[in-house]
Amino acid sequence: MASLSAQTILCIALVLTTSLIMDVNATLEGGPREFDYFALALQWPGTICHRTRHCCSCCRSKNSPTEFTIHGLWPDYNDGTWPSCCARARFDVKEISPLMDALEKYWPSLYCSRSSTCFSGKGIFWAHEWEKHGTCSSPVIQDEYTFFLTALNVYFKYNVTKILNEAGYVPSNSERYPLGGVVSAIEDSFRATPEVICSKHDVEEIRLCFYKDFKPRNCLASKTSCPKYVSFPTYVALEHDESDAAIELISGEEAL
């Protein structure tokens, strides 16, 4: 039998090494490995509604939110990556019906279009968050109802809007505040460092991070997208927006 060339041996070694490295990220069942910590991502409607008011019914309603709302509860890895779409657990809106009032108020979608889901095309924002992130929070969180309930509970426990208001960082279209002051105000109350995401100088998101037992921990020290001075823009829906909303909602639904 002809002996293997050095080049062939090198190729086999390379393939074996690559598959070993890939296995580090996999559980025995072949899914992604268990996450390291949770991030609660909160979004500032004042910033997002300025972009989406013409198409987002939530932004256009007279009751458009004036406090941070929930974007998601994300299981993340310490290296800055995260698992996604971990199980074929389809979103079922019936499972969260007891939470509906709170979810509509504190976890609304501020975007225009329907969101992508992991395996079935498009769905509502909650379906996206459960399928993409929620299914990866096992073994800490095992089901859809607990995922949404836990996110709401953590959101209520650490009221970032109140923390900032009490420190004098109030919504304004003219004031800018030092980013360091905003971060310190949260650190003083939350006892850990948040992550702040900006769109130009407007704060778009604040993320709070937690160990798996939901004790606060520092978020990863990332390069911030914010300048030294940031703002929390206000957003007030215009009077005529609600009637426009009805018209545009119909045409939006037709387009689906």
Q: Cis bond leading into 178, ω under 30°?
A: no
Phi-psi label, residue 164: left if phi above 0, alpha if psi -120 to 50, beta otherwise:
alpha
**64 vs 109, which CB is nearer to ligand 5GP?**
109
- Catalytic annotation present for 128: no
Catalytic residue, chosen from 128, 131, 133, 205, is: 133
Residue with tokens 């991030």: 39
**72 vs 83, which CB is nearer to ligand 5GP?**
72
Catalytic residue, chosen from 128, 129, 144, 205, is: 129
CB of 236 to ligand 5GP, least distance (A): 18
CB of 245 to ligand 5GP, least distance (A): 16
How many C-beta atoms lie closer than 10 Å to residue 214's C-beta?
14
- Catalytic annotation present for 50: no
Render the burial of 76-110: b for 16+ CB within 10 Å, e for the rest: bbeeeebbebbeebebeeeebeebeebbeebbbbb
Nearest to residue 116, comparing CAs of 133, 94, 95? Answer: 133
Contact of 224 with 179, CB cutoff 8 Å = yes
Contact of 47 with 233, CB cutoff 8 Å = yes
CB of 247 to ligand 5GP, least distance (A): 21
Question: How many angstroms separate the CA atoms of 245 and 54, rounded?
Answer: 8
**57 vs 231, which CB is nearer to ligand 5GP?**
57
Contact of 47 with 226, CB cutoff 8 Å = no
CB of 131 to ligand 5GP, least distance (A): 10
- Catalytic annotation present for 201: no
Nearest to residue 248, comparing CAs of 68, 55, 111, 116? Answer: 55
Residues within the interface to ligand 5GP (CB under 6 A): 43, 71-72, 109-111, 115, 125, 128-129, 132
**45 vs 216, which CB is nearer to ligand 5GP?**
45
**43 vs 135, which CB is nearer to ligand 5GP?**
43
CB of 51 to ligand 5GP, least distance (A): 11
CB of 214 to ligand 5GP, least distance (A): 19
Nearest to residue 107, comparing CAs of 59, 60, 72? Answer: 72
**167 vs 220, which CB is nearer to ligand 5GP?**
220
For the annotated catalytic residues, the residue numbers are 71, 129, 133
